[in-house]
Amino acid sequence: MIRKEAIKIASKVVVDSPIISANGFISRDLFEVDDKDTNFYMIGSMGLSSSIALGVALKNPRKRVYVFDGDGNILMNLGSLTTIGKLKPKNLIHLVFDNQSHESTGGQPSNTRNIDIYKIAKSSNYKAFKTSSKVGLKKILRKIQNIDGPIMILIKITKGGKPGKRITHSPITIKKRI
Q: How confident is the prediction along the chain (178 residues), in pLDDT tens digits per residue?
A: 999 999 999 999 888 899 999 988 899 999 999 999 999 998 878 789 999 999 999 999 999 999 999 998 898 899 999 999 999 999 999 999 998 776 666 556 676 788 899 999 999 999 999 999 999 999 999 999 999 999 999 999 988 777 777 888 888 887 888 7
- Sheet (strand 151-156) strand order: 39-41, 19-21, 65-70, 92-98, 151-156, 127-131
Collapsing DSSP to helix, strand or coil, 74 comes out as helix
Q: How many domains does the chain have?
A: 1
Domain that holds residue 169: 3-177
Say which CATH number the domain at 42 has: 3.40.50.970
Sorted by sequence, the CB contacts under 8 Å of residue 172 that are 6+ apart come out as: none
